[in-house]
Structure 1
Amino acid sequence: MLRWGILGTSFISDTVVKSILASPGSRITAVFGRNEARLEAFAAKYNIAAKYQDLEALIDDAEVDVVYVGLPSHMHSSAVIAAAKRGKAILSEKSLATTMEDSHAMIAAVKEANVFFLEGLMYLSHPLMEKVASIVQSGVLGSIKGMSGYYAANIWKKANPLGMGTIYNLGCYPVSLVHFIMETAFGPEAFEKRQVTGMGNLSNEGSLHARDASLNVRFGNGVLATVQSTDSFGNDFSFSIQGDKGVLRFRTNPWLPLAGDNIIEIKTYGGATEEIIVPAQMDAFGHQVKRVEDCIAQGLKEAPRPSPSWSNSVSIMGLLTEWEKDILDRKV
């Protein structure tokens, strides 16, 4: 039975806590929050005995085995480093951080402490991604030539401005899926050789918070990828993988896989269209909790693919920060 300590009382913590409590292999023993009223309400809602307004106090709690970092992304680094130094296993929300400096510092701390760590790109723990990998590797699509992804949600009023906006909030999903497909099809080195062009609409504060961003990437092997994300309007998604024999499209949201039927479609050029249903007993958050439980039970420090390894998380952050930089370099 894993004992979890929760850092943060936001809507994402609320979602993850429900999945933890639904698992027979986990329970929650402590929660941290800066706002006393919200902390009290959160603890009462989920019957959590230990409540802390001091983050270090929760991390020092001997009744906590795993720390879930549900704080804004600019606060991930300090929380992960502190938890690692106490020898705690860690699940930390996406995006890994908001800078490469923080990203490298987090992974260095995790390596030095030799503790389990997983970035919370929860959809990669779902069976849907295992099925997608098997399709890419089967050759039914032929050689992968391109990818296209789009994620939009009108959530800017809920987003923390220090979280650096749509790139790190929503754009990390299609970028991480591009990374997964590139690694699956061509190996781990293929993602690192690339040319990047970013465009965007900046907020009045000069950041990418609550606005729109697009990305074009040409990888060294000629594969092209386009990504667009926004948190200022809409509620929609799309992702396709184009090969020289056929195309794969997601009919259900690839970044919020369901408990139930998840649907993908394969269309061969000049041929038939096949619908593939991937059933699951839990949603992505439930599978992520199970992945953490299984890894810790097996003594693993990193989760197996499709979940992101430590180096995968850093690689994804590399493209996110390049995307942001290219937009900011172009602002007029």
Structure 2
Amino acid sequence: MTRWGILATGGIAARFVEDLQLLPDAEVLAVGSRSVASAQAFADRYGIARAYGSWDELAADGDVDVVYVATPHSAHYAATMTCLAAGRAVLCEKPFTLDLASSTELVETARARDVFLMEAMWMRCNPTVRRVCELIDDGAIGEVVSVHADFGLAGPFAPESRMRDRALGGGALLDLGIYPVSLAHLVLGRPDSVRSWAKLTPEGVDQNTGVLLGYESGAVAALTCGIVGATPVTATITGSTGRISLPDPFICPSEFTLRRGTGDPEVVRVVEPAGNGYQYEAAEVHRCLAAGLRESPLVPHAVSLEVMELLDTIRGQIGVSYD
């Protein structure tokens, strides 16, 4: 049995706990927040035995095997560092932090303390996405020549919302764009060229962003994200001899369409839809801890840092910075 601590009590923490209930070897033992009232209300809602009014108290609980950090982006660094300092394994929501330098510090700290650390890029743990990667590796669509992916929400979002709050790492890129960027990286790796454009909000965060990645192989990735319109949230991976289409939401699919050559399209169902889709990354954490691993081969540290470096480059090009 893997005993979880939940750090923060917002919507994503709630969805994650709901999905942990789908795993027979998961127990949510404790929850921590910056206020006892918030932690206790969350504990009462989900039948959690221990509620702490500080991150330090949660991290100090020696009965907790791993902590899920579910704070806004801007608090990921401090929350994760608190847990790592206490020797607690961590699954930290994506992105690790607001920039490459602080993300690198988290990884170096985890390695120095010999503690498990994983970024919660749940898309990489999804069985359907993993099957897509297997087919690509097996040559089912030939050599990949392009990736198209989008993630946009309609809004409108108020200036004080998390999505527009610069102090919280707001904007479309870190919250939504990380998925198209991560998919392109998963399929094509580190790009050789990055070109980006964005319209910024009055607060100075991106509200509509386009990214074009180029590769020496000749492949390209055209990616968009935004908080001003509901896009299809789909993805297409085109190869020299076929195509794979991921439906809405491509970040958590249960099936995809495969077209080999000029043949008829084939719908491939990998899993039956269940929960919110976070159970797969939790199961990967369980597997890694049981095996004594300090990082996941599905979401390795190097990949998290390469994607973070990409996001830094894009932010530099579109003029978004965080304090």
Q: TM-score of the superposition, structure 1-length normalised?
A: 0.88
Question: Pick from 259, 263, 270: which aligns with 1:267?
Answer: 259
2-side partners of 1:164 and 1:9: how far apart? Answer: 19
Say which is worse superposed, 83-92 or 272-281, in terms of deviation. 272-281
Q: Cα offset for 1:140?
A: 2.3
Amino acid at match of 1:218: G
Question: Pick from 281, 288, 297: which aligns with 1:295?
Answer: 288
Partner residue in 2 for 1:58:
58
Gap change, CA 1:281 and 1:246, over 3 Å in 2:
closer
Partner residue in 1 for 2:185:
179
Partner residue in 1 for 2:87:
87
Partner residue in 2 for 1:145:
145
Partner residue in 1 for 2:314:
323
1-side partners of 2:314 and 2:258: how far apart? Answer: 30
2-side partners of 1:231 and 1:164: how far apart? Answer: 11
2-side partners of 1:138 and 1:281: how far apart? Answer: 26
The reply to whether residue 277 of structure 1 matches residue 269 of structure 2 is yes
Q: Cα offset for 1:153?
A: 2.1
* RMSD, aligned α-carbons: 1.9
Question: Pick from 242, 249, 256: which aligns with 1:253?
Answer: 249
Amino acid at match of 2:107: I
Cα pair 1:127 1:280 within 8 Å, conserved: no
Deviations 1:269-322 (A, max 9, x none): 543322222124745311111111111111111112xx2101110011111111
Cα pair 2:197 2:211 within 8 Å, conserved: yes
Amino acid at match of 1:213: T
The reply to whether residue 159 of structure 1 matches residue 165 of structure 2 is no
Q: Cα offset for 1:48?
A: 1.9
Deviations 1:116-159 (A, max 9, x none): 11111112112112210121012221111111101112464553
Gap change, CA 1:23 and 1:273, over 3 Å in 2:
closer
Q: Cα offset for 1:34?
A: 2.5
Question: Pick from 221, 226, 237: which aligns with 1:225?
Answer: 221
Amino acid at match of 2:105: A
Cα pair 1:252 1:264 within 8 Å, conserved: no
Partner residue in 1 for 2:131:
131
| Aligned ranges 1:36-115 → 2 under 5 Å | 36-115=36-115
Indicate the SS of the match to 2:270: strand
Partner residue in 2 for 1:34:
34
2-side partners of 1:41 and 1:242: how far apart? Answer: 48
Q: Cα offset for 1:75?
A: 1.2
Amino acid at match of 2:98: T
Amino acid at match of 1:159: R
Aligned residues: 313
Q: Cα offset for 1:37?
A: 4.1
The reply to whether residue 12 of structure 1 matches residue 31 of structure 2 is no
Partner residue in 2 for 1:314:
305
Q: Cα offset for 1:103?
A: 0.8
Cα pair 2:67 2:83 within 8 Å, conserved: yes
1-side partners of 2:227 and 2:179: how far apart? Answer: 13
Q: Cα offset for 1:35?
A: 4.5
Say which is worse superposed, 277-286 or 15-24, in terms of deviation. 277-286
2-side partners of 1:104 and 1:240: how far apart? Answer: 31
Amino acid at match of 1:300: L
The reply to whether residue 206 of structure 1 matches residue 212 of structure 2 is no
Cα pair 1:98 1:164 within 8 Å, conserved: no
2-side partners of 1:61 and 1:115: how far apart? Answer: 15
Partner residue in 2 for 1:187:
none
Cα pair 2:141 2:261 within 8 Å, conserved: no
Cα pair 2:232 2:248 within 8 Å, conserved: no
